[in-house]
A and B are shown apart, each in its own frame.
Chain A
Amino acid sequence: NAGVMQNPRHLVRRRGQEARLRCSPMKGHSHVYWYRQLPEEGLKFMVYLQKENIIDESGMPKERFSAEFPKEGPSILRIQQVVRGDSAAYFCASDAQGAKVTEAFFGQGTRLTVV
């Protein structure tokens, strides 16, 4: 049973480009969470999605960032017009029911570098 799959593992973008980060939850999981981790810091919650619904996006920057979890396919975290401050590791977690925090599993992350 594959775990949470994130790709790419490493992504380099020039300032002003778009970054698209993908997350495939564990089989049977319908809830996805995105977290951001700056170097030497803990993870910060960004957004919680269920299939075709954004449940809580209180941690998402107001501009340039968006997330989706379509009916088919992976969840996508999209960052438009990237800036150097967007350089971070972005982690996705998934679980089956949303409310049971013990069942959430993290992916290996996508490390975004903006040059």
Chain B
Amino acid sequence: GESVGLHLPTLSVQEGDNSIINCAYSNSASDYFIWYKQESGKGPQFIIDIRSNMDKRQGQRVTVLLNKTVKHLSLQIAATQPGDSAVYFCAEGFTAGFQKLVFGTGTRLLVSP
């Protein structure tokens, strides 16, 4: 079946560096994508979303890029902080439907002081 996957299971960076987390999706019909942050023992926390009619969206210290040609999604975190250490998931869905999201496996981000 169609699925969302990530390239790197673990990403280690130094505090202050920029982090890039990547995600590949295979359902070309998906028109909505979300990045979630999940800290140990907690539920997923919404970070940023993007719709398929956009290529880029910026938030506070985060940017999501969408490349529909190669079905690729990335999350960029500027000036990474120790508090950013968590597992990051991308998820895909449909704006026309209810919240039935397909999640990727996740990338663990480790930020060293």
Contacts and interface: CB of A to CB of B under 8 A. Distances in A.
Contacts of A54: none
A45 B101 contact: yes
Interface in A80-108: 91, 93, 95, 98-99, 101-102, 104-108
Contacts of A41: 105-106
Question: Size class of B's contact patch?
Answer: 20 to 34
A6 to B, nearest CB: 8
A101 B43 contact: no
Contacts of A58: 100
A58 to B, nearest CB: 8
Nearest to B108: A40
Please tell me the size bucket of the interface on A.
Answer: 20 to 34
Interface string A39-50: 011111100100
Classify the interface of chain B: helix, strand, loop or mixed.
loop
Nearest to A92: B43
Contacts of A56: 98, 100
A98 B43 contact: no
Contacts of A104: 46, 99
B101 A43 contact: yes
Given A40-B106, A43-B101, A108 B43 contact: yes
A95 B99 contact: yes
Contacts of A55: 98
A33 interface: yes
A106 B99 contact: no
Interface of B: 4, 32, 34, 41-46, 49, 89, 91, 93, 95-106
14 contacts: A33-B98, A33-B99, A42-B105, A44-B103, A45-B100, A59-B100, A91-B43, A91-B44, A99-B98, A101-B95, A101-B98, A102-B46, A108-B41, A109-B42
Interface of A: 4, 31, 33, 35, 40-45, 48, 55-56, 58-59, 91, 93, 95, 98-99, 101-102, 104-109
